[in-house]
Each structure stands twice: as structure tokens, then as C-alpha cells.
Chain A
């Protein structure tokens, strides 16, 4: 057996060297984690930004790295608050640091091929709560396939971590106990996932929109007092509020320029429709029992193989031939009642020419309303929301843009109809 105390480093194009221990190396080497090498982070975005060929594998390593930086910075700045509020001891901090690292590392193991593009094809949950989410798949995989490699490594004798605790932290369950506090580092307004994907997607897409001073942000995050809620929360010190502002703006710019790019969204539509045709029954297997085994056999390679074999129907052919749908009309980013009425009219006039409709609020990457508490340096006004410091963010509203698409050959006819419809309003 290899020395369990040996440490390793993995090169990362964003963060440089990412250190891991032998336990994490075994998890990374697990076939279920290696599957992430075969799942592209941004689906078919390379059709617009050719460099965007990176995978969930490198992103997952990056999230673990950033989550650790955040955890260490928060404990360093807020140790006493955490001791009082959540009764932490030194060994408690060390145990939950490991828990956060593993949760961050494994948060995406439940992704479908081509990441978010396939999520509309998750089956419905039996409890009537809508479709499964990739977090449900990640948690199920951790509880089953990853349980042994998590619980039985010699280093775990120091922590006695359970796969269930990691799954509960990812899903948002009581099984995480007080560690649920750290869920904000995995899925929150300033989480490690966002910080990593904005940097990484920018780098690979070759754009600068997602870059912001994330290291400054990490060193500004702290536990802020929220006595009215009787629960501690994360915020930033005033010195770091521009970095937090930068994070929100980076998300906004990346959304408008990359994630919700009109052609990228057309490819997402084609991929989803092609997958419907390729998947048995039109949906991915559920995250339970034998179905979960079947789910894990799906990756980009398998889908690309099916497409190469002529599966995927009309949309598969469009993907292969780059014959994507064309956008013919879009609303403003934040449509008002009149804009929505115009959309209804345009949609009605276009009729069957409309082949697809993409909505910003359905996007996984949508930009929400930020509510990051900022601890002022002025002792008379200790905590205020980021929007009280930033005029720009005070005006930010969630994008509700809707885009209508038609076939390439119908584009001119569609544009004439839209022109005629809108002309009546001018």
C-alpha cells in the first residue's frame, strides 16, 4: 500500500498547483470521478468560442481548491464567532475542512453528458417535487459508488467522515448537522463553484468577462452578525465589497456574453432534442438502484458516438452539420408588461415559424438578486447589503430575456414578419 501520508500536486490552468492528499487521490482516481473527464463544462459553447473545450474534471478540482481557500480565510477571520455560534473546536474545524473539500470535489459527479444542457431530461421525482437535479445524482452516487473510497481510506480514521454527511451537505439535508453552515461555500452567493467557473470559463473561452479579484474576495469573506435571524451568515468586510461587486458583475457579463449567447442557446436546444431521441424513453435513468448504474454509463463520448452513427434525428444532424436555428426576436433583458405583450404578438404572428424559445430565467447560469451583507468599517453602521454600497448593483434586476428561433431557411421571412409586427407600434 502506498504511503497514506504522501501528498501530490495537480497542475491547474487557473490556480497553478492544486495540492491533494492520498485519500483525495484515490477518490479522484475512482472511475466515477474520472467520468468527469468526459463531460464538457460548457456543452457546445466551442461552436462560438472554440477554446471552451474544458471539462467538469478540472472544474471540480478547482472548486475544491477555492472552497478550501474560502474555508481557511473564514476560519482565520471569524474563528471566535464560529466557536461561540456553532461550538467549534480545533478538531471540529479540521474535520469540517475535510468535509467541505470532499463535498466541493464531488459536487458535480452527478452531471449528465454536456453538463447542464441535458438537465431538462432528468426524470420526474416520485414525491411530486418536479424533476431530479444533478445534485440529487451527485448525492446518490456519493452514498453508493463513492462510499467505500470515502469511508475506508486509512486517513479517514482521523475524521470518521461518512458519505452521508457529504451527500447531505450537497443536497441540503439535516444529516450535515452544523456543517450545513458551510453549504454557502458550495451553493451560495459567493460559493467556490461560481468563483471557479467564472475564472475557468473565461480562460478557456478566451474572454475576460468572468475575471474579477477573487483572491481579494476570498480574503474579505467573514461571518457577519445577523442577530435578528439567530443564525450566522457569510458576508464581506467593507474593504472587499468591490471584489464582491466584481463577482456579481462578472456573472452578469458572462451570462450575457457566453452562457446566454443566442447561438449557444440554439445548440443547447438541438442537443436536448437530440438527446431525447438518443436516450431510451427520452429521459435519463433515475438516480436509484440499477438505474443509477445505467446513468453513469452516459458521458459525452457515448452521445458523440450515437450522433456519429446518425442517431439524434433532425437535431442530431443539425449539430453535426452546424445547421443551428437562428434567433429572430428577443425581448429586452428585463421586459416590462408592454414588452411581454409585444412578445405575445410577435410569437402569434410568427406562428409555426417559431421552432424554439429560450428563456433566461430557465438558464442554470441566470444572475439572481444579490444580497451579500457587508460589514462596514464605520462602527455606527455595522452591516448593510452590498446593494447599499454599490449603485450599479442596486439597479440590477434578474434577466427575463426571451429569444425566439426559426430555421435558417425561414430567417428572412421571419424577420419580415417581425419587422411588420413591430412596425405597427412605432
Chain B
């Protein structure tokens, strides 16, 4: 795949996610869905996600969203949350979405079931939940890369050090959920869901 083809795939995917989602997606949701699809389903997006306190992040996802918006494939609007002091962005389909999707159609069509899977399983989660879920997967893949097998408690401990606002129990519940979905690879065999 050339760089150009990959770029169209990224824009096509983001456009498709925005178009297919049953509720409006925000920047965090699109970032984390792209992470899940690349990491768990092998979409060849070529993003370089790195861990931050808010989970795996690559500014290129935001840049691609900006490019998709400047091409008219998606539109964004800033929204304020009814509680707390935060803000976010909501994305809706733009007028030229089809132009972008067509450019990536060939590759994207191979991953349509995965895109639907990501939206159904994770599209309705809150930003905070997605950050925790993807941090767990990030820690899991890091352990795999080191050749480690981890007990649930050990994985929860590593995640908890990065995200101290979540209790151990909350983290373990999410680890178990991801394990049941078959999305974790570093857990000791006895602890696989």
C-alpha cells in the first residue's frame, strides 16, 4: 500500500465511522475506535499510537479528521457537557463523504464487518470508558511484545499506575470484559475469558 492509499484509507475509515454511527461520535471516540480497529482487527492504518494519561493517542488521527473536514467529508461542532466543565466535538457526515469513501472503497470493503463490530461494541461508550479500555489493550500488547504473561491483577496494577482515578475493581471489570471478547493476548492461560 502506498502512503497515498493509506491516507485515503484513514480518511475513508473516519468518514465511514461518522456515517455509520447511530449516535454522534466525538474526537476521543474516533481516536479510540481507530486504535481498536488497527490493534485488534489489523486495519493497516499506520498510526503510531503512544500512551498518554488519557490512553493511546496519535495526533495524526486528529490531523486526518481535520483533512476529512476540509474536504467536506465530515463536519464537526464543539459541544459543552451538561455536567462538569468540559467540552468536546461531535462529528456528523459532510456533503462529500462519498468522494472520500470511493477513494478507499477497495480496501475498506474488506473491513466492513470489523467497522460494524467496533461501532456496536464500543461506539456508545463514554470518553472515560474508552480511554480505560484502550489503555488496558495498550498495556496488554506491551506485555506481549516483551514476551510476558500477566495475571489479571498484575495487568490491573500496571493500568492503575497510569490511570489512578479508576479503582482496581473498575479496572478488573474492564479487563474481564475485554478478555471475554477475546481482545487480550497477554493474560495467563488460566485467566483467559
A-B pairs under 8 A by CB, number:
129
Proximity bits, B93-124, A CB within 8 Å = 1, else 0: 00010010000000000000000000000000
Cβ–Cβ contact B69 & A397, under 8 A: yes
Tell me which of B12-20, B81-89, B174-182 binds A.
Answer: B81-89
Q: Mark A358-388, 1 if CB is under 8 A from B, else 0.
A: 0101100010110101000000011111011
Chain B neighbourhood of A361, CB < 8 A: 7, 63, 67
Q: Distance (Å) between the CB of B158 and the closest chain A CB?
A: 5
B181 to chain A, nearest CB (A): 21
- Is A242 engaged at the interface, CB distance under 8 Å to the other chain? no
Query: Bound state CA distance, A53 and B29, in angstroms?
Result: 43
The total of chain A residues at the interface (CB under 8 A) is 50
Report A20-37 CB contacts with B as 1/0, cut-off 8 Å: 000000000000000000
> What separation, in Å, do the CA atoms of A127 and B3 have in the docked complex?
19
* Residue contact B142 to A233, C-beta cutoff 8 Å: no
A174/B62 contact (C-beta < 8 A), A130-B48, A388-B78 known: no
Residues of A within 8 A of B51 (CB): 172-174, 176, 180, 183
Identify B27's interface contact among A177, A337, A371, A400, CB under 8 A.
Answer: A371
Interface range on chain B (Cβ under 8 Å from partner)? 35 or more
Whether B52 lies near A130 (C-beta < 8 A) is no
**Are the CB atoms of B127 and A229 closer together than 8 Å?**
yes
Contact A174 B54, CB 8 Å, known A383-B85, A383-B86, A385-B78:
no
B70 within 8 Å of A (CB atoms): yes
Alpha-carbon gap, A361 to B70, bound state (A): 14
Interface residues of B (CB under 8 A from A): 3, 7, 27-28, 46, 48, 50-55, 59-60, 62-63, 65-67, 69-72, 78, 80-81, 83-88, 96, 99, 126-128, 131-132, 138-139, 142, 145, 158-159, 161-166
Q: Which chain A residue lies CB-closest to B62?
A: A369
CB of B138, distance to nearest CB on chain A (Å): 8
**Distance of A371 Cα from B88 Cα, bound (Å):** 10
CB-CB under 8 A from B165, the residues of chain A are: 85, 230-231
Contact B7 A227 (CB under 8 A): no
Q: Is the CB of A397 within 8 A of B53?
A: no
> Considering the chains assembled together, what is the distance between the CA atoms of A382 and B59 in angstroms?
25
What's the least CB distance linking A120 to chain B, in Å?
Answer: 10
CB-based contact B161/A226 at 8 Å: no
Given contacts A180-B162, A371-B27, 6 further A-B contacts (CB under 8 A): A133-B48, A174-B138, A178-B164, A187-B50, A361-B63, A384-B80
Known: A174-B161, A337-B96, A384-B87. A130 touches B46 (CB 8 A): yes
